[in-house]
Structure 1
Amino acid sequence: MNPTDPKADLRTSLQSARDALLWKLEGLTEYDARRPLTPTGTNLLGLVRHLAGVELGYLGDTFGLPSGEPLPWLAEDAGPNADMYAAADESRESVVALYRRAWAHADATLDALALDTVGTVPWWPRGADEVTLHHAVVRVVADTHRHAGHADILRELLDGAAGLNKDRRSLPPGDAAAWEHHRARVERAARQAHRAKDPDEPATGTAPN
């Protein structure tokens, strides 16, 4: 971190989340990269697609610097949540390439403008739509890290891969047996707390006792 260069700090934090998100796609089949793993349809490639639009919007259009990228999910006939998944005929490579172009466009905006530059968010209510570049970047950093956390969980559910990236897991040491022991300990604590609080209500779930 560089206390004399807040832009550099923001860029470093944002890039770490960008990189983590793309790493979560590595080595997956087309199905696993795209399939919904929550009741609300959250999926890995959809998170990447969504965040491309976030960067192009908040760090492009908002400051009068449109990218010119066609975003089909903004079309009038696009269905709800159309930015949150990739169509069957949309390649993984094209989504990742769009995200990387969005990075470059957002970074160019950050390079070109002062952090106190005021922009107008097109989709916010009129009269409450002004935002500084500093605020917009912080919003994008927060959103990207939030979705990188979603990606962490989705990838772990798919094949057990966990951690920040392939070179730095940022997890305590332990093999599969150690993690299973830890998980069982957490499960026991949860069931014990439940019995103490609601002794007549059975604990629900699929984990063994």
Structure 2
Amino acid sequence: MSKACVSCKRHRFPQELIAHAVWLYFRFPLSFRLIEEMLLERGIIVSYETIRRWSRKFGTAFARSLRRKPAECGDIWHLDEVRIVIRGQPHWLWRAVDQDGYVLDEILQTRRNTKAAKRLLTRLLARQGARPKRMVTDKLASYGAARRKLKSSIRHLSHKGLNNRAENSHLPLRKQERVMQKFRSPGSCQRFVSIFSAIRNLFVPPASIDNAISRHVHRVRAFAQWNNATALIA
């Protein structure tokens, strides 16, 4: 694991506090002002604007330091898109998750057509390095057209009722979007969802874990990995 290219030098607060504030913001639907209040309750005086700058500076580096889930040939990819309005202009966040709800990739695009679907599929195949067992989407015809353009032999199931895994993956982001009172720009939206999903992937137990002990073990390991990732800043 390579070191994150950011530094805590010349920051008044220790890196443990900075990492904790960043974790709170991306892990839970909290505003910067609420995090400021939570830290104040512990006797830590820091402004919400400082927390905002921490999230912008360190969030991407922390997310980059987290290990990605290795691809498996038996994975099932669920693909879906959700409408996001930024400064009055509609955009589409294209997202792919696996059978456990783990976010594989997501791209903010201005179109909801074959070209946009093809871009998502191309990135997925390149980044994952393995083909899925099958691909599940809703009834949007662009997915099938994109698969044909790529001449892919991946089995494609197009059925709205089978794609709840992808549709449910939008809900946590929707909660955070309401707290943030919408995104300010396409770039800030793409940056936020990338960090948000990386941290959520780490801490949320996969759907296959169905007992309390296993979920506890999963979260303990997640915190150990998070502490290792955030300790990489100098």
Greater strand share, 1 or 2? 2
Q: TM-score, normalised by structure 1?
A: 0.32
Q: Which of structures 1 and 2 has the bigger CA Rg? A: 1
Q: TM-score, normalised by structure 2?
A: 0.29
